[in-house]
Structure 1
Amino acid sequence: MRSSTPRQPRADQAAGVPVSSRTRKRKMPTSADVAKVAGVSQTAVSVALSGRSGSARISPATRQRILDAAAKLNYVPHKNAVALRRQESMVVLFITRPSRIEPFGQVIPHVLTTAASGALAEHGYSVLVTQPEELAGGGRALTALIQRLQVDGVLYDSPDGPEVMNAIASAGVPSVMLIRPVETGNPSPSVVVDPQPGMAAAIDHLGLLGHRRIAYVGREGPHPIDRHRLACFQAALAQYSGHQLEESIFLVRDYSIQAGEQGAERALTHNERPTAIITSSDGLTLGVLRYANENKIQIPYDLSLISFDDAVVADLYPPITSISQPFAECAAAAVELLIKAIVDGQSVHDQLTLPTQFRVRSSTGVPSNFICYPQGAP
């Protein structure tokens, strides 16, 4: 038996809200909806919104009509569906420097991977990070890893030269090298840093302060980066337009703090003791600082010090004057080159060069033996 009590209207009914508005969940637009509004096929919608021409050709007017319809409906293609149609994983592999280097040396890889991850995310890509020594089997294992992961491209900032480069080339995916110049015969594009602007500014700075003997502590060996930094140091000294400058060069085995200490000891116990030192890395700078502290050498009063890298030395005491590498900008530029290669479906052979900057801080000053010469004196 039904109750004779009349049902009270709901508040939304009393307010005149249509039943469909309160009971039916709003449907998300689909590519079929876009196709219907634009008066085209779903294939045409897929081609227009993917950004590629593919085998299906559509006119600019049709493409614009599809884009207008998508905007009107607030339709956004799901990135996973787009990737599936394109047969892409939307993942990039980042091969970074070996972890066997000292802890401070991991700062640069961290800056590069963080900047690259952010730039890739803006394009809808994720990033996987690996290091060469994690792969037992060397280059062949790296090639297999790239193919197994089905990554769309590779960024690499690894000093392990030909083996890594050949392994990436064998995998057949687009790749871009960061920081390190491309070796002869390697077709990969790269983003490199030019030491010359920062080095020239550093020499000018020391010359104007009154320094005449300037030492260079850098890594020995045939690597093009080391050769280039040393060559820029020597060229900047030769091109300095002020008083004559004397150079002394002390090469060490690597970029470690211990190597920096050894380089500082050789430089500062030399018969012609320099009043300023320029190092080729932050690690060597830390070694010079340690040697100076242990031997009561005050910076900048007894010795001016300039670092190359500027990854970890700005917050030391004293803050170190530096030739600064644009690490974050390098990573972002490398991502743009890689995305271009992935989207266009063809390799690029560009080498993009970014300049170093010179940042003056508290580790440089007038040499303690400075003599103010009359204008025009040698």
Structure 2
Amino acid sequence: MEKSNVTVYDIAKEANVSPATVSRILTGNAAVSDEKRLRVKALIDKYDFKPNALARSLSKKESKTLGFILPDITNPFFSTVFLEAEKCALEAGYTMMLCDSMNNNDNESIHLKTLSEKQVDVIIIMGGRVNDVRTRTEYAEEMNKILKSTPILIVNGKMTGVKCHKIATDEEHGMIQLVEYLVSIGHSKIGLIGGRENVTSSYIKYRALEEAFRKNNLQLNKEWMIYGDYSIESGIESMKKLLKKREKPTALIAINDFVAIGAIRAANEAGLDIPKDMSITGFDDSYISEIAHPKLTTVNQNYKELGKEIINTVLDITSKKGGDTTKVIDTKLVVRDSCLSI
């Protein structure tokens, strides 16, 4: 018999025991006689037998596999969170299955169903339905159905009517830090561009901007608050709209680094010098913030800590520690070259 082809059933047949007895010996179950244990272990050593991952998962009722659903792997925010979480997952003995919904709710539903059927230990989800300001009833029902068999961890989002573990970066504080920094270098005319109005991350940032304005006794100009999306193209279009207005801000906060890059490009094409003519900040501190010209002042999402806490929460879930929890990760202002004192 070739070593590579040996199964539990082969070991059981040669040892004259049942396959269940072999499984109990492999998992350290005490309910096996010493004589049988020695006989089976001798054959395990003889054939250098190692049970496959599926067999181990069935015996231990865990797969050591995590599902991670995100909306767009090409977005550096989501890809960086995934990579930092995967590093920690590997250290903890887990493998990660990446599922990109491509910003499509139907794809998201398919991924949820597939991961649950594959019996992953925990499903981690970012973006999509968990970022809707108003939770759709059918999506909440679908999540609750999945939760009956598979734990779910929501990252940077929430769903009304869905009780599960959540973890989020403090984007509200990040926005307040940006406003207070701009105020400290002399700016009082500040705008905000990008993001969708019905997405929680945008909602949080726009509301935080308004709160920061109130605290600093600043006048809010609604004409300088322009929604769009999260792309470079959105930054370009938003800046073009802004430059057509009679009065313009001296400083502009972009919803993320991509939008900031687009805004800078459009400003440059219009003949403006950034930051001499207008200060511009990003948000997320993705890799493009350091290669932009000028380098972006932005808010760091504390990716390493977020990745670590995602997996720490997974470990809490799998070890049945505590109930539903919400963890908040600090964000940090990163000052570079895209803002100037006035």
Query: Which bracket does the TM-score occupy, shorter chain normalised?
Result: 0.7 to 0.9
Aligned residue type for 1:313: S
Confirm or deny: 8 A CA contact 1:139 1:167 kept in the other structure.
Answer: no
Confirm or deny: 8 A CA contact 1:157 1:177 kept in the other structure.
Answer: yes
Matches within 5 A, 1:1-378: 46=28, 80=53, 83-98=57-72, 103=74, 105=75, 107-133=76-102, 138=107, 141-161=110-130, 166-171=141-146, 172-180=149-157, 182-240=158-216, 244=218, 247-248=221-222, 249-311=224-286, 312-344=288-320, 348-367=323-342
Distance 1:254 1:134, change over 3 A: closer
Aligned residue type for 1:206: L
Confirm or deny: 8 A CA contact 1:320 1:363 kept in the other structure.
Answer: yes
The unaligned stretches of length 5 or more in structure 1 are 1-41, 49-76, 368-378
Q: CA deviation at 1:230?
A: 0.4
Measure, in 2, the Cα distance between the counterparts of 1:246 and 1:114. 38
Q: CA deviation at 1:274?
A: 0.8
Measure, in 2, the Cα distance between the counterparts of 1:139 and 1:309. 24
Distance 1:225 1:342, change over 3 A: same
Measure, in 1, the Cα distance between the counterparts of 2:101 and 2:250. 40
2:163 is paired with a residue of what secondary structure? coil
Confirm or deny: 8 A CA contact 1:153 1:174 kept in the other structure.
Answer: yes
Q: CA deviation at 1:122?
A: 1.7
Q: CA deviation at 1:325?
A: 1.5
Measure, in 2, the Cα distance between the counterparts of 1:360 and 1:134. 31
Q: CA deviation at 1:277?
A: 0.3
1:198 is paired with a residue of what secondary structure? helix
Measure, in 1, the Cα distance between the counterparts of 2:322 and 2:103. 28
Equivalent residue, structure 2, for 1:6: none
Measure, in 1, the Cα distance between the counterparts of 2:104 and 2:191. 40
Confirm or deny: 8 A CA contact 1:174 1:338 kept in the other structure.
Answer: no
The unaligned stretches of length 5 or more in structure 2 are 1-23, 31-49, 131-135
2:184 is paired with a residue of what secondary structure? helix
CA distances 1:126-154 after superposition (whole Å, capped 9, x unpaired): 11111225999656633441233221111
Confirm or deny: 8 A CA contact 1:282 1:313 kept in the other structure.
Answer: yes
Confirm or deny: 8 A CA contact 1:216 1:247 kept in the other structure.
Answer: no
Q: CA deviation at 1:268?
A: 2.6
CA distances 1:202-247 after superposition (whole Å, capped 9, x unpaired): 2222222222211111324222221111011111121127xx5554
Q: CA deviation at 1:167?
A: 3.9
Distance 1:246 1:349, change over 3 A: same
Confirm or deny: 8 A CA contact 1:324 1:356 kept in the other structure.
Answer: yes
Q: CA deviation at 1:361?
A: 0.5
Distance 1:136 1:304, change over 3 A: closer
TM-score by length of 1: 0.68
Measure, in 2, the Cα distance between the counterparts of 1:336 and 1:120. 9
Distance 1:79 1:233, change over 3 A: farther
2:293 is paired with a residue of what secondary structure? coil
CA distances 1:145-178 after superposition (whole Å, capped 9, x unpaired): 1233221111111323456665444232111111
Distance 1:82 1:46, change over 3 A: farther
Measure, in 1, the Cα distance between the counterparts of 2:172 and 2:291. 25
CA distances 1:186-216 after superposition (whole Å, capped 9, x unpaired): 1121111222332222222222222221111
Confirm or deny: 8 A CA contact 2:140 2:160 kept in the other structure.
Answer: no
TM-score by length of 2: 0.75
Distance 1:191 1:137, change over 3 A: closer
Measure, in 2, the Cα distance between the counterparts of 1:232 and 1:285. 18
Measure, in 2, the Cα distance between the counterparts of 1:144 and 1:217. 36
CA distances 1:102-134 after superposition (whole Å, capped 9, x unpaired): x4x2x1222112111111112211111112259
